[in-house]
């Protein structure tokens, strides 16, 4: 080994003041290639807790708001095991669960303030049967899906979301009278999903609004090139050793 090369080699393998052993090189390479930040996981479903963050990571979104269907202070029923198709998306409940579109002011008019809504106008509601269940079939496969949802359950509220194909499963909570946004991107194109209330004191009501579907943004070539450079440097250091 030439004079000075030992010091150069040592610098190649120092990360945050610690000498990195050779067997850790491939672990560092994996971090460079796949990262650990939100929206950059490889081969897994990535979730987003806010709509702006979801919108930034997606493109070509179609959003369904259920506006203009229910009369003021009222609702429109679609029946037991009912279905509703909007923008090519079919929302359907199973036997024993009724489907409705509620006016944003329906529960305020019938029960008085503060009422219940998703703070975004009229919304879809699957209820009158427990556990509440909603199946959603998409007109085209999508790699990005998001929606707001709520339940009539207490703090133990839990909703389970499963995707087809791929079998991805997510869980989230929206205790009454709050509502929750959930958005996610998938490495596998999704053609349908099922949402069911799996925990809570009632489990008989699931409300949904702002349903959006589209395409997850693939990292730009320049980003991939930078990651490739990082991997090349690591491999060069290993070879030099």
Percentage of residues in the chain having pLDDT higher than 70: 73
Query: What average pLDDT is seen over the chain?
Result: 82
Dist. CA 171–CA 158, nearest whole Å: 7
Which of the two residues, 6 and 92, has the higher pLDDT score?
92
With a cut of 50, say whether residue 60 has pLDDT above it: yes
Q: Give percent helix, percent strand, percent coil of the chain, each to the nearest 5.
A: 20, 40, 35
Q: What is the mean pLDDT of residues 143-160?
A: 97
Ramachandran angles phi, psi of 2, nearest 5°: -70, 150
Q: What is the mean pLDDT of residues 165-176?
A: 90
**Cα atoms found within 13 Å of the Cα of residue 28, Cβ hemisphere only:** 21
Q: Which two tokens stand for residue 39?
A: 């929206």
Please tell me the least confidently modeled range out of 10-24, 75-89, 138-152, 173-187. Answer: 10-24
With a cut of 50, say whether residue 32 has pLDDT above it: no
Q: What is the mean pLDDT of residues 125-151?
A: 96
With a cut of 60, say whether residue 6 has pLDDT above it: no
This model's pTM is above 0.85: no
With a cut of 70, say whether residue 4 has pLDDT above it: no
Q: Which two tokens stand for residue 102?
A: 């509620």
């Amino acid at each position: 080994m030439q004079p000075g090369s030992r010091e150069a080699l040592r610098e190649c393998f120092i990360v945050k003041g610690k000498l990195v052993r050779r067997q850790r090189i491939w672990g560092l390479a994996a971090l460079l290639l796949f990262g650990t930040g939100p929206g950059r996981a490889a081969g897994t479903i990535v979730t987003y807790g806010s709509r702006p963050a979801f919108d930034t990571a997606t493109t070509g979104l179609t959003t369904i708001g259920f506006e203009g269907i229910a009369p003021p202070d009222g609702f429109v029923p679609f029946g037991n095991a009912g279905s509703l198709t909007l923008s090519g998306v079919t929302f359907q409940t199973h036997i024993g669960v009724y489907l409705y579109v509620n006016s944003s002011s329906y529960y305020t008019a019938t029960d008085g303030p503060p009422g219940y809504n998703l703070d975004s106008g009229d919304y879809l509601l699957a209820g009158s049967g427990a556990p509440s269940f909603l199946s959603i079939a998409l007109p085209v496969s999508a790699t990005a899906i998001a929606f707001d949802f709520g339940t009539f359950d207490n703090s133990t509220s839990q909703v389970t979301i499963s995707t087809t194909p791929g079998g991805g499963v997510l869980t989230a909570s929206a205790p009454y009278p709050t509502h929750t946004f959930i958005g996610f991107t998938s490495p596998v194109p999704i053609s349908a999903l099922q949402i069911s209330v799996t925990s809570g004191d009632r489990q008989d009501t699931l409300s949904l609004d702002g349903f959006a579907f589209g395409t997850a943004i693939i990292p730009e070539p320049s980003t991939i090139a930078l990651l490739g450079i990082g991997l090349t440097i690591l491999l060069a250091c290993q070879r030099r050793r």
